[in-house]
Chain A
Amino acid sequence: MEVKSRLELSKVRIYGIIAVLTVTVFALGGAYLGVLADRSSLKLPENLVFEDFSVNVNELINTIAVSGTGRVSTTPNQAILTFGVVTQIQGLADKECKTHELIEDYKTHPYIANLIRGGKTVEYSGDIIHEGGISMVPNLYTNGFLVAGTAGSLVLNNAFTFRGADFAIASGIIAAEAVIKAKEKNSFNEETLSIYRQLLNQSFVLRDMVTFKKIPRALENQRIYTLYPELLCKAFENVFTVDQKPTKKLSKKVKEAMRGKVSTFQLIRDGIKMVRAL
Chain B
Amino acid sequence: MSTKEKLTLEDRLGLNRYEFDEESHIKVDEELCKTCEKKPCLFVCPAEVYTIVEDKIATNHENCIECSTCIIACKRIGNGAIEWYCPRGGFGISYRYG
Instruction: Identify the interface centre among A75, A92, A97, A103: most chain B CB within 10 Å of its CB.
Output: A92
The answer to whether A97 touches B97, judged by C-beta atoms less than 8 angstroms apart, is no
User: B85 near A: Cβ within 8 Å?
Assistant: no
Measured between alpha carbons, how far is A121 from B16 in the docked complex, in Å? 10
User: A120 near B: Cβ within 8 Å?
Assistant: yes
Beyond A82-B97, A93-B38, A104-B6, is A36–B44 a contact (Cβ under 8 Å)? yes
The listed residue (A90, A97, A100) touching B9 by CB distance below 8 A is A100
The listed residue (B3, B7, B16, B69) touching A116 by CB distance below 8 A is B3
User: A118 near B: Cβ within 8 Å?
Assistant: yes
Interface size of B by CB at 8 A reads 32
Across the interface, which residues of B come within 8 angstroms of A119, CB to CB? Answer: 3
Across the interface, which residues of A come within 8 angstroms of B6, CB to CB? Answer: 104-105, 107-108
Instruction: Identify the interface centre among B6, B12, B46: most chain A CB within 10 Å of its CB.
Output: B46
User: Of residues 55 to 101 in A, which have CB atoms within 8 Å of B's CB atoms?
Assistant: 75, 78, 80, 82, 89-90, 92-93, 96-100
Beyond A36-B67, A121-B15, is A128–B72 a contact (Cβ under 8 Å)? yes
Across the interface, which residues of A come within 8 angstroms of B15, CB to CB? Answer: 121-124
User: Of residues 105 to 132 in A, which have CB atoms within 8 Å of B's CB atoms?
Assistant: 105, 107-108, 113, 116-128
Beyond A120-B1, A124-B15, A127-B67, is A89–B46 a contact (Cβ under 8 Å)? no
Query: Scoring B residues 45 to 82 as 1 if CB is less than 8 Å from chain A, else 0, what string do you get?
Result: 11110000000000000000101110011001100000
The answer to whether A128 touches B67, judged by C-beta atoms less than 8 angstroms apart, is yes
The answer to whether B40 touches A89, judged by C-beta atoms less than 8 angstroms apart, is yes
The answer to whether A82 touches B12, judged by C-beta atoms less than 8 angstroms apart, is no
A38-46, A188-196, A240-248: which lies at the interface = A38-46
The listed residue (A41, A103, A121, A128) touching B69 by CB distance below 8 A is A128
Other A-B contacts than A89-B77, A113-B3, A126-B69, 20 sampled, CB-CB below 8 A, are: A41-B97, A41-B98, A42-B3, A75-B97, A75-B98, A89-B69, A89-B72, A89-B73, A92-B40, A92-B43, A96-B43, A100-B46, A100-B47, A104-B6, A108-B6, A123-B95, A124-B65, A125-B16, A126-B67, A127-B67
